[in-house]
Homo-oligomer: A and B are copies of this chain.
Amino acid sequence: MAISNIRYGQGVTKEIGMDLQNLGARKVCLMTDKNLSQLPPVNAVLNSLAKYGINFQMYDNVRVEPTDQSFLDAIQFAKKGEFDAYVAVGGGSVMDTCKAANLYASSPTSDFLDYVNAPIGKGKPVTVPLKPLIAVPTTAGTGSETTGVAIFDFKELKVKTGIASRAIKPTLGIIDPLHTLSMPERIVANSGFDVLCHALESYTALPYNMRSPCPSNPINRPAYQGSNPISDVWALHALRIVAKYLKRAIRSPEDHEARAKMHLASAFAGIGFGNAGVHLCHGMSYPISGLVKTYKPKDYNVDHSLVPHGLSVVLTSPAVFAFTAQIHPERHLEAAEILGADIRTARIKDAGFILADTLRKFLFDLNVDDGLAAVGYSKADIPALVKGTLPQERVTKLSPRPQTEEDLSALFEASMKLY
C-alpha cells in the first residue's frame, strides 16, 4: 500500500514557496476556483510565492463539480504553460482538475479517454513521468490530497467517472487547518459527509484478499485494493473523529479545534479509502450528481445546478449499509457504536438496520435534505440512476455484497425519503 506525504499544522501553507524552491520549480501553475481566489487560503499561497520569488501563472477557472469540458480547459492551460510544478488550492474539484491537467500536459499526445476509467474510457496505465503537484485542501472532505483519483462529470453520458492511478497522487499535501475557517456551514456538512462515507465504505469494502481478479503482477493491481489491516486503522480513526467533531465543526465556525480535527480526518480517511476503495454510496452518487435537474444547494456560490458530492454520497448511506451488513455485520455494528448507537443489547443480525437508523438520526440532527426526493428525484428517475451506476464497476465491485440491477433499483427507491 502506498501512502502519501502530508504536512500538517496551522500556518504551514506559508512554507509552500520554499517547497517549490526545493523542487527546483521555475514555472509553477497555481490552480484554484473563482470563489477561492479572493479568500485567505489562496492569499497565503500567493504571499509565499511572492516571498520566495516563485514564477507562476494562476488558473482560477476550475468548475465546482468539474466536467470533461472544464477538465479540458484546464488541460489546455497546462499544455500551453509548460509548467514544471503544480499547486492546487481548493476542494476536491480543484485538486482533481489539477491532477488531470498535470497528467495530460505530461502526456500531450494522449487522447482524453485514454486514462479515463474503463468501461467509459480506456483505463490505460500511466507510464509517463508527471511534474510535482502540491495540494492545499480548503475543505474537509475529499481527501484528494492523498489519493490518485480525479473525478469529473462526463456531460455527454450524463455520468460521473474519473481517472485513477497512483501516478497522479500529489507529491505533498499541505493540511493547514486555518483554511477550513473560510468554509460556510453547508460546505462543512457536505464535505464532512464525504469523510463519513469514505470511512464507512472503506471499512466495509470487500477484503483485499477476496477481491478478483487479482493480477499476479503487483504493478497491475488497482489503486483500490479492498479493505485491509492498514486502511482499517485509518478508516476507524477517521470515523471516530467524525463522530466526535463533525457536528461541532458544522455548527460553530469558531470551533477551531473541531474544524482542525475534521481537516485531518479528511486526509486520514483519504489515505484509507485511497488504498482500500469505496463502494456503493460512491458508485450510486455519480449518477445522482450527474443527472441533477434544478437543485441548488445553500452556501454554494455557483451559477449551475448541483448536488454536492458529499450530499450525493450520504443520501443513500442508510439504504446501502442496511443492504451490505449481512456480509460483515460485526463491522457495521462497530461503526454504529462509534457513531453513537447503544449496541449493548443489539443482535448481530440487526447490524444493518442499526447502522442505517444511526445514520438517519445523524443526518436528521444536521438538517440534511430528506432523501433523493428533496434534491429533485422521483421514482421515474430510478432506471436512469441505475443505468448511471452500472459503469461504476471500479467501485461497485468492491461492495462486500454483489448487487443486481434490481438491488440497485431498490436501494435508490429506499433512499427517496430518509426520515
Residues of chain A in range 190-245 having any CB-CB distance to chain B below 8 Å? 208-209, 216-219, 228-230, 233-234, 237
**Interface contact A7-B264, CB-CB below 8 Å:** no
Number of copies: 2
User: Which of B8, B217, B264 is within 8 Å of A18, CB to CB?
Assistant: B217
**Does residue A108 face the partner (Cβ distance < 8 Å to B)?**
no
Expressed in whole angstroms, the Cα–Cα distance for A208 and B12 within the complex equals 13
**Interface contact B218-A22, CB-CB below 8 Å:** yes
Interface 1/0s, chain A 1-44, versus B by CB < 8 A? 11111111100000100110010000000000000000000000
**Interface contact B218-A18, CB-CB below 8 Å:** yes
**Does residue A323 face the partner (Cβ distance < 8 Å to B)?**
no
A side interface size, CB within 8 A: 27
Nearest-neighbour CB distance to chain B for A346, whole angstroms, equals: 23
14 A-B contacts (beta carbon < 8 Å): A1-B6, A1-B7, A1-B8, A3-B5, A6-B230, A8-B228, A8-B230, A9-B209, A15-B217, A15-B218, A18-B217, A18-B219, A19-B218, A233-B234
Nearest-neighbour CB distance to chain B for A148, whole angstroms, equals: 13
Nearest-neighbour CB distance to chain B for A134, whole angstroms, equals: 11
Task: Taking A18-B217, A230-B268 as given, write out 5 further A-B residue pairs in contact, using a Cβ cutoff of 8 Å, ordered by the A residue number.
Answer: A6-B230, A18-B218, A18-B219, A19-B218, A230-B264
Nearest-neighbour CB distance to chain B for A339, whole angstroms, equals: 19
Q: Which residue of B lies closest to A233 (CB)?
A: B237
Expressed in whole angstroms, the Cα–Cα distance for A233 and B7 within the complex equals 15
Q: Which residue of B lies closest to A271 (CB)?
A: B3
- Residue among A5, A218, A219 with max Cβ neighbours from chain B (10 Å): A218
Q: Chain A residues in contact with chain B, CB under 8 A?
A: 1-9, 15, 18-19, 22, 208-209, 216-219, 228-230, 233-234, 237, 264, 268
Expressed in whole angstroms, the Cα–Cα distance for A159 and B229 within the complex equals 38
**Interface contact B268-A233, CB-CB below 8 Å:** yes
Expressed in whole angstroms, the Cα–Cα distance for A3 and B2 within the complex equals 8
Q: Which residue of B lies closest to A208 (CB)?
A: B9
Q: Which residues of B contact A19 (CB under 8 A)?
A: 218
Q: Which residue of B lies closest to A18 (CB)?
A: B217
User: Which of B5, B217, B218, B233 is within 8 Å of A1, CB to CB?
Assistant: B5
Nearest-neighbour CB distance to chain B for A268, whole angstroms, equals: 7
Expressed in whole angstroms, the Cα–Cα distance for A57 and B7 within the complex equals 39
Q: Which residues of B contact A218 (CB under 8 A)?
A: 7, 15, 18-19, 22
User: Which of B3, B9, B229 is within 8 Å of A8, CB to CB?
Assistant: B229
Expressed in whole angstroms, the Cα–Cα distance for A208 and B237 within the complex equals 20
Q: Which residues of B contact A217 (CB under 8 A)?
A: 15, 18, 22
Q: Which residues of B contact A1 (CB under 8 A)?
A: 5-8
Expressed in whole angstroms, the Cα–Cα distance for A3 and B172 within the complex equals 11
Q: Which residues of B contact A15 (CB under 8 A)?
A: 216-218
Expressed in whole angstroms, the Cα–Cα distance for A6 and B22 within the complex equals 27
- Residue among A6, A230, A268 with max Cβ neighbours from chain B (10 Å): A230
Q: Which residues of B contact A234 (CB under 8 A)?
A: 233
- Residue among A7, A229, A264 with max Cβ neighbours from chain B (10 Å): A229
Expressed in whole angstroms, the Cα–Cα distance for A8 and B230 within the complex equals 9
Q: Which residue of B lies closest to A4 (CB)?
A: B3
